[in-house]
Amino acid sequence: MNFKNILQCAEKTPLVSLDRINDALGTNVVVKLEKFNPGGSIKDRAAIALIKKAEIQGYLKPGGTIIESSSGNFAISLAMIGAARGYKVIVLVDPKTTNTNISLMKAYGAKVVVVEEKDDTGSYHKTRIKQANELAQVIENSYRPDQCFNILSSYAHYESTATEIYEQTKDEADAIVCAVSTGGQIGGISKFYKEKKSSCKICCVDAFGSGIFSPETYPYKIPGVGLGWTPRNILDVNNIDYVFKIHDESAFIASRLLCRHEGILCGVSSGAVLLGALKLSISMKSTRPIIAVMGDSGERYIDTLFNEDWLYENGIDTTNDIFHFKKLINRIDPPQKSPNIYSNYRDDLIKELKVPNTTITHFPKIKFTKNHGGLHDL
- Inter-CA distances, 72 with 88, 140, 238, 240, 364, Å: 17, 25, 29, 26, 28
Residue 118 and residue 95: Cα distance in Å, rounded? 10
Per-position b or e across 267-303, b if 16+ CB within 10 A of its CB: bbbbbbbbbbbbbbbbeeebeebbbbbbbbbbebbee
- Mean pLDDT over 210-239 rounds to 92
**What pLDDT is attached to residue 368?**
31
Q: Helix (H, G, I), strand (E, B), or coil: what is residue 295?
A: coil
Residue 312 and residue 318: Cα distance in Å, rounded? 8
* Residue 4 DSSP one-character state: S
**What pLDDT is attached to residue 5?**
95
Q: How confident is the model at residue 374 (pLDDT cuts 50, 70, 90)?
A: very low
- Inter-CA distances, 56 with 50, 51, 53, 251, Å: 10, 9, 5, 40
Q: Other CB atoms closer than 10 Å to residue 56's CB: what's the count?
A: 9
- pLDDT tens by residue, 99-116: 899 999 999 999 999 999
Query: By C-alpha distance, which of 320, 293, 43, 59 is closest to 165?
Result: 293
Per-position b or e across 191-211, b if 16+ CB within 10 A of its CB: bbbbeeeeebbbbbbbbbbbb
- Mean pLDDT over 212-223 rounds to 90
* Residue 89 DSSP one-character state: E
Domains parsed from the chain with CATH numbers:
6-38+155-339 (3.40.50.1100), 42-150 (3.40.50.1100)
Q: Which residue type sits at 332?
A: I
Residue 369: is its pLDDT beyond 50?
Answer: no
- Report how far Cα 238 is from the mean position of its chain's Cα atoms: 19
Q: With 0.85 as the threshold, say if the pTM is over it.
A: yes
